[in-house]
Homo-oligomer: A and B are copies of this chain.
Amino acid sequence: MNTLLLGIGAWDPEPWRARFQAVLPGWQVVLPGEIFDRRAVRYAAAWKQPEGTFADLPLLDAIFSLGAGVDHLFKDRRLPEGVPVVRVVDPDLTTRMSEYVVMHCLMALRRVRVYDGFQRERKWIDLRDQPQASDIRVGLLGMGVLGQDAAAKLKTMGFQVAGWSRRDGVAMHHGAEGLDALVAASDILVAMMPLTADTAGILDAKLFSRLPKAEAIGGPVLINVGRGGLQNEADILAALESGTLGTAVLDVFQTEPLPEDSPLWSHPHVTVTPHNSAISSPPAIAAYVAAQIRAHMDGQPLVNVVDPAHGY
């Protein structure tokens, strides 16, 4: 019997089992602690699987990450070599990420937090010299499926948009020099790239020091919707203190949930959201994985396979 193994360490796996049963009728969907024929497992799906979950599965054809990130998967030192790892980048997740990114760029442009303060004080104050979107440069770090969708929508809203990717290709900037150039020309910097050995801690004091002054929007804005491991939170707080950064919008953190004593919670120029910038609806993810499994069994190649050398 065709078998899908669910390696889920972060959430209750039972709703996921039910979702996959619904979209893979006739399949057996199993969890690590259960008794099943390990030779029947053709596919696996994972979110923060326990170490070794996917070892000793001789006929495993692919492992699907139940989200766009895969760093959690590669923490497993017993991950089988040579088995393709596939990222889920479904249109639902992409749409939600762009909602969040476009919204926070607009909120920075239109100074929502400043006007909120005026409202609290019952003050009818119109800031003069409101820039329009075309005056503001948004730099996107990461120009994969998510980055490209956000870029197109930001352009529709009128923003100047540039992107950087570590690999050549789609983006205007690439490589280390390209990164410096992009940062220097970004009033709003949006981190959307994967967490890898090369990107860990990249959002640090050195990078912030290259940002422009962005006076029209009260100082440069950092939006991190990638991974908490990209950012140095002490450096973010220092940069906000010194004025090197004007605002930070953080959906991800070095430790999640963000500890209750983190000064980020109460900083007047920080927006904290609970890593939900782009939660795919679980049924959409299950449907996406099932569609890929069916296509693969029909001889089609897998889509969004991770390059192990790059880690994304």
Q: How many residues does chain A have at the interface if contact means C-beta atoms less than 8 Å apart?
A: 45
Q: List, in ascending order, chain B residues with CB within 8 A of A272's CB.
A: 119
Partner of A99, one of B92, B118, B119, B158: B158
Chain B residue at smallest Cβ distance from A275: B126
Partner of A107, one of B107, B118, B157: B107
A274 lies within 8 A of B103 (CB):
no
A254 within 8 A of B: no
Q: List, in ascending order, chain B residues with CB within 8 A of A279's CB.
A: 126, 130
A109 within 8 A of B: yes
Partner of A106, one of B99, B124, B158, B265: B99
How many copies of this kind of chain does the complex include? 2
A225 to chain B, nearest CB (A): 12
Q: List, in ascending order, chain B residues with CB within 8 A of A157's CB.
A: 98-99, 102, 153
Chain B residue at smallest Cβ distance from A124: B257
Q: List, in ascending order, chain B residues with CB within 8 A of A256's CB.
A: 124
A99 to B156, CA, bound (A): 10
A99 lies within 8 A of B109 (CB):
yes
A174 to B288, CA, bound (A): 40
B115 lies within 8 A of A273 (CB):
yes
A-B contact pairs, 23 of them (CB 8 A): A92-B132, A95-B132, A95-B133, A95-B134, A99-B110, A99-B133, A102-B102, A103-B107, A103-B110, A107-B112, A115-B273, A115-B274, A118-B274, A119-B265, A120-B266, A122-B260, A122-B266, A124-B257, A126-B279, A130-B276, A130-B279, A132-B281, A153-B157
